Amino acid sequence: MKKPISPQERRRASRKKFGYYMPVLENETGRLVGHLVDISPDGLQLETSTPLSVGEELSLYIELTPEVSDRLFLFFSARTKWVQPDEIMPNFYHVGFEITHIEPDAHQTYLRLIETYGE
């Protein structure tokens, strides 16, 4: 029997742990979706208090710091690829997202975010 491939093994780009407590919000409502746990050029992982559905497409934004950009916000769209309950805190979930749309200048800002806070 073949062993299932984990989300980490399917990933194309390596992720970096995110060293800054940064909330990610839903664009239409301003609702907190979760906080960044790790990040890569193609996607990100959030810690959430609510499980999300796999395949869900969300329009998201991050409030930026002056160290990253003179812009106030970074807007992008992302799709949930996987959801796992936290092993230690059962009322939290880890959700992997693939970025599906980001404007080219926003993508440059996103890469600076990785460079500035990725560990």
Domain that holds residue 44: 11-117
pLDDT tens, position by position, 1-44: 433 444 544 445 565 565 667 999 999 999 999 999 999 999 99
Upper half-sphere CA count for residue 92 (Cβ side, 13 Å): 12
Q: What pLDDT, on the 0 to 100 scale, is given for residue 8?
A: 47
Residue 36 inside a domain? The answer is yes
- 16 domain residue, yes or no: yes
Q: Is 5 contained in some domain? A: no
CATH number at 39 reads 2.40.10.220
Q: Answer with the residue of higher pLDDT: 6 or 81.
A: 81
Residue 29 lies in a domain: yes
Structural domains in the chain (count): 1
Q: For 51, how many CA atoms within 13 A lie in the half-sphere containing its CB?
A: 9
Smallest CA-to-CA distance from 75 within 17, 118, 27, 28 is with 27
Q: How confident is the model at residue 49 (pLDDT cuts 50, 70, 90)?
A: very high
Confidence of residue 48 (pLDDT cuts 50, 70, 90): very high
Mean pLDDT computed over 45-73: 94
Beta carbons of 76 and 106 less than 8 angstroms apart? yes
